[in-house]
Chains A and B, each alone.
Chain A
Amino acid sequence: MASLKDLRNRIASVKATQKITKAMQMVAAAKLKRAQEAAEAARPYSERMGAVLANIAGAVSGSDAPPLMAGTGKDETHLLVVCTAERGLCGGFNSQIAKLAREHIRSLLANGKTVKVLCVGKKGYDVLRRDYGQHIIDRVDLREVKKIGFDNAHGIARQVIGLFEKGEFDVCTLFYSEFQSVMSQVPTAQQIIPAAVPASDEAAQASDAAYEYEPEAAAILADLIPRNIAVQIFRALLENAAGEMGAKMTAMDSATRNAGEMIDKLSITYNRQRQAQITKELIEIISGAEAL
């Protein structure tokens, strides 16, 4: 049985932990708000980009389409860009993304494809390194980045496109967590190269207007698609940032509650033991007095 002093120390340490988790929860809540705002602010751009892309894709015929859109015509080497958080303590957030990526890798390997992995964020790297270390070609560290800017996404996109142009892979899939609400983030796999062709009805609707292109459509498209990849990655990073904070907030909230429960239980044990000790001391005094 733990002594009273031990119990007191336990209670004090759990209380300290609770304070920390509570503070982390509040920090996460504040950051979540900002991350959510950033994700929302970025939405008009990606929406318009989608519309413009749909427009222009309808104008450029299949054979003229740049390889980034049409693909290499092969399906041999897959590049997986796995975006995770830089920090832990956010529940199952990172492991969910890693799990989805791992399943994907396993099925690709089973089908005899070559797999390459580009890790964005430390946590995904830590998890995937264990099982698929030899497939990881590079990792991008965003730990120093306080606020994710378009430049970060652009850098990653440039790296991916560079690899594609060197013929290092045929298909590129982006893994990230879609932010649905504070409570739920859904790990998602999205193919970015070859670019998913925009829905045909959307394209048909948009191409009602006879556009003039300056310079010609193919040149704009060749410029637009790499940018679209950067936008997709940027969106993934922002969704991830918001999701991470949401997951962290939920995780820290339940941690705070658990600590509270633990403190209650420990205090009951503590009080009981104190009572027992007092009773014991009283009995000793009384029986001592009776013996006289």
Chain B
Amino acid sequence: MATAFKFDLVSPERLLVSQDVASVVIPGTEGEMTVMADHAPTMTSIKPGVITVNAATGGAERYVVFGGFADILPEGCTVLAESAVHVDEINREDLARRIQEAREDVADAQDHETRTKAEEFLAQLTTLEGAILPA
């Protein structure tokens, strides 16, 4: 059994998780990563996706996050999510609304750079939708 470490998941509105965990899977912008105890200090931004928290006591919880940051230290890991919900509580309309907004952002984008960014975000959202909502 892997050593446990401290994991916090906070959104601006509240603290969602603060517990000892065995490992956490974080959807980093540069690719998914699994964080375990004694990880090298890393700071990464995260894309919309699912965080899987494997509790030290066994059992896994999944949370949907929409962008944010992860601050990883050997002794703990903090995820600052722009908004986060438990995977069971995600509602379809909210996700649909976000996707709609992202589509509008793509349409509104003035220059190439913002358009690329917006398109990327939209793609991440649609992937997420496919992953968590069975069609």
Residues of A within 8 A of B (CB): 38, 41-42, 44-46, 48-49, 51-52, 55-56, 149-150, 153, 209-215, 217, 219-220, 223-224, 227, 230-231, 234
Contacts and interface: CB of A to CB of B under 8 A. Distances in A.
B48 interface: no
Interface string B67-89: 00101010000101011000000
A45 B10 contact: yes
A45 B69 contact: no
B113 interface: no
A227 B43 contact: no
Contacts of B8: 44, 48
Interface string B7-44: 01011111100000000000011100000000011111
Contact of B40 (A212, A215, A219): A212
Nearest to A208: B41
A212 B72 CA distance: 9
Which 9 A-B pairs have CB atoms at the shortest separation, nearest pair first? Answer: A41-B14, A214-B44, A209-B41, A150-B12, A212-B42, A45-B10, A211-B41, A44-B15, A214-B30
Interface of B is mostly: strand
Given A45-B80, A48-B71, A210 B41 contact: yes
A49 B42 contact: no
B43 A149 contact: no
B45 interface: yes
A231 B81 CA distance: 12
A170 B83 CA distance: 30
Given A45-B10, A52-B69, A215-B30, A223 B15 contact: no
Contact of A215 (B11, B13, B29): B29
16 contacts: A41-B15, A42-B14, A44-B8, A45-B11, A52-B71, A52-B80, A55-B43, A149-B13, A150-B11, A150-B13, A209-B41, A209-B73, A211-B42, A212-B40, A212-B43, A220-B44
Contact of B43 (A44, A150, A211, A231): A211
B1 to A, nearest CB: 26
B43 A48 contact: no
